[in-house]
Chain A
Amino acid sequence: MLSLWRKIRRTGRVAEPAPLAPAMARAAAEMGLGGSVQVRHVDAGSCNGCEVEIGSAFGPVYDAERHGARLVASPRHADALLVTGVVTRNMTEPLRRTYDAVPEPCLVVAVGDCARNCGVFAGAYGVAGAVGDVVPTDLEVPGCPPRPEAIVEALRTLTGR
């Protein structure tokens, strides 16, 4: 135990300085969130590649929380939705309901190529469309899957920090 403490003391702070904050998205600036955005993640039919990257973005290496973004457990607590994957037919209604359940105003971030334009699943039989076809999107993060840096960057445009 003591040796662990000693190690922590000796190592000190090793985090790299964060890159400069990007310009704030217009929708987020209008909402006046004050640098703190509560995010609810919705998997609308993803292959889970984007989920892995989101997990990484909120992990200890990229740590999106230090920029004011926080994952929450219910849309009732959320300011923004982080939607991944194509919207499948089964998830169309739940996604719409989740959007309705968020207190107004609500930001929607489409994460990954599938969420933007159906990606490789375009035209598949179970696909209802991209996220933008179901709920209005404010921000898109390209990539299949997008790198954690890109996700953190997108979230920083919401928080402005």
Chain B
Amino acid sequence: MNLVALALMGATALGVIGVMAALVVGRGARPVVVGALTAAGGVFGTVAGIAAMLGQAWSANLPGLLPLSGVVISVDALGGLFLAVSGAVATTAAVYGIGYSRHGLDGRGVQAIFPVFVLSLLLVPVAGSISTLLVSWELMALTSLLLVLAEHRRRAEVASAGRWYAVMTHLGFVAIVIGLLVLAAPAAGDSYPAVRAAADTLSPTVAGLVLVLCLVGFGSKAGIVPLHAWLPRAHPEAPSHVSALMSAAMVNMGVYGIVRVGFDLMHGGTRWWWLLVLALGAMSAMYGILQAVISTDLKRLLGYSTTENMGLVLVGIGASGLFASSGRPVLAALAATAALLHVIGHAAFKTLLFLAAGSVLHATGTRDLDALGGLRAVMPMTTAAFGLGALAASALPPGTAFISEWVLLQALIHGLPSPGVATSIVLPIAVAAVALTAGLSVATFVKAFGVGFLARPRSDAAAQARESPPTMLAGMALAGMASVGFAIVPTLVLPVLGRVAGDLVGTGSPVAGAVTVELVGIAGSLSPVLLAAALLAATVLVVAVPRVLVARRARRAARLWDCGAGPLSARMEYTATSFAEPLQRVFDNVLQPVQDVDITHVQESRYLVAAVEYRRRVPDRVERRLYEPVLAAAAAWGCVGRRLATGSVHRYLGYGFYTVCALLVLLLVTR
């Protein structure tokens, strides 16, 4: 019995104890007990994941646990990576949840489901058979759905978000079930080795079908366009520590599923699969960040940013598969490394951002950026946390996303002389998409941070905000440390990620170096430490030198220049809407905003204006084109179906009778 097994058992035991504790312990101590147990479980999960990444493998067969197929657990390096990420995010979220649950989320149900959700997040990457994967996947979907609905009594939108999530996650589940069952059909059993051995017997068409179905199912969980509609609804409406878990850990499972099925179980497949993955990824990245940049709801903005980041990860995965199928394993490993690093970095900064957004929501009761502002003075720690997260998310050095996107761009650019017309068209577009996404993400997070936290408060709620309790700050501090750590010394994890990625495509690690990240096989190196040091030195120089120089002269304190008129008011500030307006104008054709201007004239004269009303709405275009027709068709079908059910018992008995008769006739004819 090795470390992985012990740690996993510990995590499971702690999760189960957590559930029982939630049911038994009184309301006062419940959040503390459940939070501490879940956090400890998360730590165990992380330990197990790290041990698995470092080379310890473990598998177990528990036939009695689940009827018919039993439970198969098998931990390898790839699963270990996602296990470690889930565990770490769960720890942070659980610590934060101790303080956050105090206002109305300390009910027995919510507290008991939280450890189950964490446990399911730890179970999905360690599942060793198709049936175990499906069961843990469904457990994850159901528990997260219940947690999304936690605040349904307080806000009406929660119910609508929950419905969207429930329907879409289950449609995705249906796709996964069909895909994986077709995949497992020719195999001797449903464990991964058996499926892997039998995967080559599938015809290319069937294999392609399996991949597309899995892409639909797993992609919808990862919030990939056009299956993202639930994500910007459900993530904002969930309690914030659950949002962090969903946005930083659960969406990763979609990526895990695609990698597991595409690379591991089906051995890489053909080129068009990965072109499809890459195209979907690039589209999601651009569409997600474009919606984020015009969003005025803080958590919705973060939700769209998740879609963007998962898109970038899929660009890496797609590029990796593409290079692998064109016989360039080194580049394939490099692209996969970039994708995995982005998964880790995204988990760190998105946890931080969602937790900070949760603190803002906790303190002010609103997520509307146009009603926030001025939080720097009253919530300095939260502001620092959000600022750190925003820096990491905006793909600028010294941020985590900068390094992973740099590695990704290196892989894409060095892959340009690849054979094939489609490749030579798609790769340059992918480079441009990554660059555009990085630029827009800077604008997004400048907006979120500047409008949300700096300047003057735009509402009484923002002016009267108070700093969060210590456990919430501790949760943010954990996520913040992880975010800074990965940004400055990514070399701690890169060799391991390189090995995992190398194993996927059958080659060695594509990155080397202890301080400087050096790419193996292609020219390129980057030193995050030196970069951070240089930035720090430059900042000190720019800030300190003028101070020293100016200090010699006589100084005079003067009033803030306000054009000589009255005091500056919050109404003079940039709002989130006005900040994004130029970008909205640039992307007018893509976003197609709906704007109305209503002018009311004074009764006596049409030359005098009494009031001007301006309304702007940016409907999600994908939703309007893709979902509304489907919903309308479903509603129409329902109306037609209603004619069959008139409420007459005789008629229902008749239906039963005639159906049985028809079946008997059918049997008679076919036998």
Q: Could you say which residues of chain B place their CB within 8 Å of the CB of A74?
A: 561
Are A95 and B564 in contact (CB-based, < 8 A)?
yes
Contact A104 B556 (CB under 8 A): yes
**Which of A75, A93, A95, A97 has the most B CB atoms < 10 Å from its CB?**
A97
A100 sits at the interface (CB 8 A): yes
Q: Is A98 an interface residue (CB 8 A)?
A: yes
User: Which residues of A are found within 8 Å of B558, using beta-carbon distances?
Assistant: 100-101
The interface residues of chain B lying within 8 Å CB-to-CB of A100 are: 558-559
B561 and A101 contacting across the interface, CB-CB below 8 Å: yes
Q: Which of A66-111 contact B (CB under 8 A)?
A: 74-76, 93-95, 97-98, 100-101, 104
Query: For the complex, is B667 an interface residue (Cβ under 8 Å from A)?
Result: no
Separation of A101 and B558 alpha carbons in the complex (Å): 7
Residues in B with CB closer than 8 Å to A104 are 556
Return the contact of B565 from the options A75, A76, A94, A101 (Cβ within 8 A): A94
Complex Cα–Cα for A104 and B553 (A): 12
In the complex, what residue of chain B is closest to A95 when comparing beta carbons? B564
Q: Is the CB of A97 within 8 A of B559?
A: yes
A101 CA to B560 CA, complexed, in Å: 8
Chain B 294-329 interface residues, beta-carbon cutoff 8 Å to A? none
Min CB distance B641 to A, Å, is 68
Chain B, residue nearest A104 (CB) = B556
* CB nearest to A99 among chain B residues: B564
Residue of A nearest to B556 (CB): A104
| Chain A residues whose CB sits within 8 angstroms of the CB of B562 once the complex forms | 97
The answer to whether A75 and B556 touch across the interface, beta carbons within 8 angstroms, is no
A101 near B556: Cβ-Cβ < 8 Å: no
**Chain A residues with CB below 8 A from B559, complex form:** 97, 100-101
B553-581 toward A: CB 8 Å interface, digit per residue (1/0)?
00010110111110000000000000000
| Complex contact A97–B564 (CB within 8 A) | yes
Contacting pair A94 B561 (CB below 8 A): no
How many Å lie between the Cα of A93 and that of B563 in the bound state? 11
- When distances are taken between beta carbons in the complex, the residues of chain B under 8 Å from A76 are 561
- Distance in angstroms between the alpha carbons of A104 and B564 in the assembled complex: 17
Which residues of the partner chain B approach A95 to less than 8 Å between Cβ atoms?
564
Closest to B565 in A: A94
Distance between B572 CB and nearest chain A CB, rounded to angstroms: 16
Question: Using a Cβ cutoff of 8 Å, how many contacts connect chains A and B?
Answer: 19
Closest Cβ of chain A to B42, distance in Å, is 53
A95 to B565, CA, bound (A): 9
Output the least CB separation between A108 and chain B (Å): 15
Residues 126-158 of B, flagged 1 when their CB comes within 8 A of A and 0 if not, give 000000000000000000000000000000000
Return A83 CB to nearest CB of chain B, in Å: 12
User: Which residue of chain A lies nearest to B563 when distances are taken between CB atoms in the complex?
Assistant: A94
Q: Is the CB of A98 within 8 A of B564?
A: yes
A98 to B563, CA, bound (A): 7
Asked if B564 and A94 make an inter-chain contact with CB atoms under 8 angstroms apart, the answer reads yes
CB A90 to nearest CB in B, in angstroms, measures 10
In the complex, how many angstroms separate the beta carbon of B549 from the nearest chain A beta carbon?
16
A:87-146 near B, CB below 8 Å? 93-95, 97-98, 100-101, 104
Residues from chain A with Cβ under 8 Å of B556 in the complex: 104
How far, in angstroms, from A104 to B555 measured CA to CA in the complex?
Answer: 10
- CA of A35 to CA of B564 in the docked complex: distance in angstroms? 28
Measured between alpha carbons, how far is A77 from B565 in the docked complex, in Å?
18
Assembly CA distance A95 to B564 (angstroms): 7
Chain B contacts for A101, CB-based, 8 A: 558-559, 561, 564
Shortest Cβ gap from A78 to chain B (Å):
11
A residues near B561, Cβ cutoff 8 Å = 74-76, 101
CB-CB contacts below 8 Å: B606-656 with A: none
Give the nearest-CB partner of A98 in chain B.
B564
Which residues in chain A, 43-78, are within 8 Å of chain B measured between CB atoms? 74-76
CA–CA, A75 and B561, complex, Å: 9
A74 to chain B, nearest CB (A): 7
The CA of A93 and the CA of B559, in the complex, are separated in Å by 13
- Measured CB to CB, the closest approach of chain A to B564, in angstroms, equals 3
Q: Shortest Cβ distance from B503 into chain A, in angstroms?
A: 61
Measured between alpha carbons, how far is A53 from B564 in the docked complex, in Å? 24
Chain A residues closer than 8 Å to B563, beta-carbon distance: 94
Shortest Cβ gap from A32 to chain B (Å): 15
CA distance A94 to B565 in the complex (A): 6
Q: Using CB atoms, name the residue of chain A closest to B564.
A: A94
Q: What is the minimal beta-carbon distance from B94 to any residue of chain A, in angstroms? A: 51
Docked CA distance A104–B559 (Å)? 14
Smallest Cβ-Cβ distance to A96: which chain B residue: B564
A75 (CB) vs chain B CBs: closest residue: B561
Q: Which residue of A lies closest to B560 (CB)?
A: A101
Name the distance in Å between B566's Cβ and chain A's nearest Cβ: 9
- C-alpha spacing A93/B561, complex, angstroms: 13
- 8 Å CB interface, B563-604 against A: 563-565
Binding site for B on A (CB under 8 A): 74-76, 93-95, 97-98, 100-101, 104
15 A-B contacts, Cβ less than 8 Å apart? A74-B561, A75-B561, A76-B561, A93-B564, A94-B563, A94-B564, A94-B565, A95-B564, A97-B562, A97-B564, A100-B558, A101-B558, A101-B559, A101-B561, A104-B556
**Contacts beyond the supplied A76-B561, A100-B558: 5 A-B pairs with Cβ under 8 Å:** A75-B561, A94-B564, A97-B564, A101-B559, A101-B561
| Chain B interface residues toward A at CB < 8 A | 556, 558-559, 561-565
Can you list the 10 inter-chain pairs with the closest CB atoms, starting with the nearest? A94-B564, A97-B564, A98-B564, A101-B561, A76-B561, A100-B558, A101-B558, A94-B565, A100-B559, A104-B556
